[in-house]
């Protein structure tokens, strides 16, 4: 059963199209990820699904309710963990949860029971009476996740849930999300630009780039579509001539260029590396390094977009700066 159905949803800001007619479904109880660089349109998509933005065209149903017509019903059935902190730091952890529960008109008896459950789930029972200003970044994130669950939503949206956290704390948050998913009571939809996060957490992943949905499947299925091995060749010179020569070889499944690297998907990569080196020497290309690994989600993203997520982030930031300059003029 699908709990979210998105149909050709789009969002324009002036002449700029942030989300470009994307469609996807989210199954009840799954962890669904929108993966892509900053500026790809992930957060804008989430804001439309949570009724914070009105679509320019298209639409969606969330928990069976139309985001354009039934906004109050949508809001009653969802929880949101925003990318930017949204806790009141002058309140304790307990008080933050109480305030949120009151907003959702949860009665006192049920409210107290639910707050106790949530504090136990996110392991903040011993910090319940501490002011949030004294929480670590990871503790604040855990409290925000708990707050998003206090009214028992059918769907919890997590917008970049671990951005700005150190690697150890990030992994800790992943474990909490995994634990939450295992309970099976809530569908989780998250946005991220961390490849490892999507691979570790998500049942299915949608690649979003420049407002478009470019691929969608399970992490394993996406990686299996490339198949074989990935040979990554870094060159000091001659990258274009080597790319041209490699394109004519039938044993190369895919070939992508990014920065000074060529990434090739081949079978039995260890046997093909000497052939690649000999070809480079023949045409005067200087190889700096050669790597061999099984396909990752990063390789899949490169296959579909021709760039790494980091490169796309740089491109997205440049585009944003250009738009701001144009608007000021």
> How large is the average pLDDT for residues 67-73?
96
The strand ranges marked E within 123-201 are: 155-159, 187-192
Give pLDDT, residue 309: 81
Cα distance between residue 21 and residue 211, in whole Å:
8
Give the CA dihedral 220, 226, 228, 233, nearest 10 degrees. Answer: -120
Q: Which fold has domain 228-294?
A: Alpha-Beta Plaits (3.30.70)
Phi then psi for 97, rounded to 5 degrees? -70, -40
Q: Assess whether pLDDT exceeds 90 at residue 143.
A: yes
Name every residue whose Cβ is closer than 8 Å to that of residue 198 and which is 6 or more positions away in sequence: 33, 35, 192, 205, 219, 297
315 — pLDDT class (breaks 50, 70, 90) = very low
- Over residues 112-136, the pLDDT tens digits come to 999 999 999 888 999 999 999 999 9
Where does 184-266 have alpha helices with state H? 195-201, 219-226, 239-247
Among 297, 33, 48, smallest CA distance to 187 is for: 33
- Over residues 182-213, the pLDDT tens digits come to 888 899 999 999 999 999 999 999 999 999 99
Cα distance between residue 104 and residue 269, in whole Å:
57
What tokens appear for 100 in the block? Answer: 């949120």
- Over residues 89-115, the pLDDT tens digits come to 999 999 999 999 999 999 999 999 999
Q: How many CB atoms lie within 10 A of CB 322?
A: 10
Domain residue ranges in the chain: 2-218, 228-294
- Over residues 278-287, the pLDDT tens digits come to 999 999 999 9
What tokens appear for 60 in the block? Answer: 């969606």
What tokens appear for 186 in the block? Answer: 């809530």
Among 56, 58, 18, smallest CA distance to 38 is for: 18
Q: Are 82 and 103 in contact (CB under 8 A)?
A: no
Tell me, letter by letter, the H, E, C secondary structure of 46-70: HHHHCCCCCCCEEEEEECCEECCCC
179 — pLDDT class (breaks 50, 70, 90) = confident
Give pLDDT, residue 42: 95
- The distance from CA 288 to its chain's CA centroid, rounded to whole angstroms, is 32
DSSP H or E segment with residue 217: strand 212-217
Cα distance between residue 300 and residue 71, in whole Å:
36
Give pLDDT, residue 317: 44
- Over residues 205-240, the pLDDT tens digits come to 999 999 999 999 999 999 988 888 999 999 999 999
84 — pLDDT class (breaks 50, 70, 90) = confident
The DSSP code for 128 is T
135 against 166, higher pLDDT: 135
Give pLDDT, residue 194: 92
The average confidence (pLDDT) of the chain is: 90
pTM, whole model, 2 decimals?
A: 0.82
Same fold, 2-218 and 228-294: no
Q: Assess whether pLDDT exceeds 60 at residue 319.
A: no
Q: Which of 3.30.70.660, 3.40.640.10, 3.40.50.150, 3.40.50.300 is the CATH number of 2-218?
A: 3.40.50.300
Give pLDDT, residue 324: 40
Residue positions counted in the chain = 329
């Amino acid at each position: 059963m699908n709990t979210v159905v998105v149909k050709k949803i789009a969002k324009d800001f002036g002449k700029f199209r942030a989300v470009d007619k994307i469609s996807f479904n989210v199954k009840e109880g799954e962890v669904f990820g929108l993966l892509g660089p900053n500026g790809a349109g992930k957060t804008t998509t989430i804001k439309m699904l949570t009724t914070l933005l009105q679509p320019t065209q298209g639409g969606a149903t969330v928990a069976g309710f139309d985001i354009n017509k039934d906004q109050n019903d949508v809001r009653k059935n969802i929880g949101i963990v925003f990318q930017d902190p949204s806790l009141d730091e002058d309140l304790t952890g307990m008080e933050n949860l109480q305030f949120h529960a009151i907003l959702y008109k949860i009665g006192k008896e049920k409210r107290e029971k639910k707050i106790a459950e949530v504090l136990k789930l996110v392991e903040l029972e011993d910090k319940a009476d501490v002011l949030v200003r004294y929480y670590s970044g990871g503790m604040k994130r855990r409290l925000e996740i708990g707050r998003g669950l206090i009214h028992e939503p059918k769907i919890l949206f997590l917008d970049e849930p671990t951005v700005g956290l150190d690697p150890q704390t990030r992994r800790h948050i992943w474990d909490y999300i995994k634990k939450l998913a295992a309970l099976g009571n809530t569908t989780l939809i998250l946005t991220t630009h961390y490849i490892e996060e999507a691979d570790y957490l998500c049942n299915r992943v949608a690649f979003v780039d420049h407002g478009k949905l470019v691929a969608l499947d399970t992490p394993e299925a996406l990686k299996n579509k490339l198949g074989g091995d990935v040979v990554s060749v870094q060159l000091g010179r001659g990258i274009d001539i080597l790319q041209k020569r490699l394109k004519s070889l039938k044993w190369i499944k895919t070939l992508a260029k990014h920065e000074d690297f060529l990434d090739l998907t081949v079978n039995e990569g260890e046997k093909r590396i000497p052939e690649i080196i000999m070809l480079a020497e023949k045409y005067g290309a200087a190889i700096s390094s050669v790597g061999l690994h099984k396909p990752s989600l990063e390789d899949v993203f490169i296959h579909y977009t021709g760039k790494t997520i980091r490169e796309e982030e740089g491109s997205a930031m440049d585009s944003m700066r250009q738009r701001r300059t144009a608007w000021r003029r």
